Amino acid sequence: MKQRLKLAIGLVVVGAILLGIAAVTVKPVNAAPHAFHFGFKRSVDGSIPSVKEEGFEHILQKHGAWYVGDTDKKELFLTFDNGYENGYTIKILDVLKEKQVPAAFFVTGHYVKQHADLVKRMVEEGHIVGNHSWTHPDMTQISAAQIQSELEQVKQQAAPLMGQQQMKYLRPPRGIFNDHVLDISRQAGYTSVFWSLAYKDWEVNAQKGARYAYEQVMKQLHPGAIMLLHSVSSDNAAALGDIIDAARNQGYTFKSLDDLPLSETIPGLN
């Protein structure tokens, strides 16, 4: 009887050990760090947007990433994401040229390969061309080497079109990032730029008209706004001139990302 009891106890102990080992071994050794999808508390009546409740403020600060400019100044920073061309970038560039407004265009590898003429025009007309990755992946799910490759391929493809301009600004695809992504990007020489003004403008089959785009942008206007618009939107192309005129009538000026101070201290995070 005693022998059986000892055997039973032994089996229980061994089973517990095996379960413990299993519990340890099933945990991924190289699990990706926590990923964030960029979000913010929107501006209302000119208030300053906030990321304090999103849980990643310290990561932006750590890596010198921007989502808003100097909130003490009535300055706006106009940026476009160019994943692919939908026929509206020429219109956008025409308006920017007419209104003498600088902008930043974040381009993918597909865009640079297919529309080198437009990238070249962006540069020639004084706009910034930024990196939006080669294939638009979730960069929190790929290795450091793959992140570097994604960025380098865009840089090399665009180099013949850039003149004296250096590609130095990055917008992570889909706004998905973590500490690792921003760290690798910064080591590659990039300043990551997010946004403090945006609306759901990228669904090409759900456009709602120029007036809608105008209202969505104007109601979020605030000092230091980094404005994100998608160039695939017909609404944006149609509303852009009126947005620029109305913002200027409110006392705003449009600035280049190069006017953001290269500092460890980001005004919007203080």
Based on the residue annotation, tell me whether 230 is a catalytic residue of this protein. Answer: yes
Choosing from 63, 180, 222, 230, which is the catalytic residue?
230
Choosing from 81, 110, 127, 201, which is the catalytic residue?
81
DSSP the chain: -HHHHHHHHHHHHHHHHHHHHHHHHTS-TTPPPPPEE---BPPSTTPPPB-TTTT-HHHHHHHT-BSB--TTS-EEEEEEEESS--S-HHHHHHHHHHHT---EEEE-HHHHHH-HHHHHHHHHTT-EEEE--SS---GGGS-HHHHHHHHHHHHHHHGGG-TT----EE--GGGEE-HHHHHHHHHTT-EEB--SB--S---TT----HHHHHHHHHTT--TTEEEEEETT-HHHHHHHHHHHHHHHHTT-EEE-GGGS---S--GGG-
Closest by CA to 219, choosing from 194, 195, 250, 241, is: 250
Based on the residue annotation, tell me whether 245 is a catalytic residue of this protein. Answer: no
Q: Which residues have a catalytic role annotated?
A: 81, 230
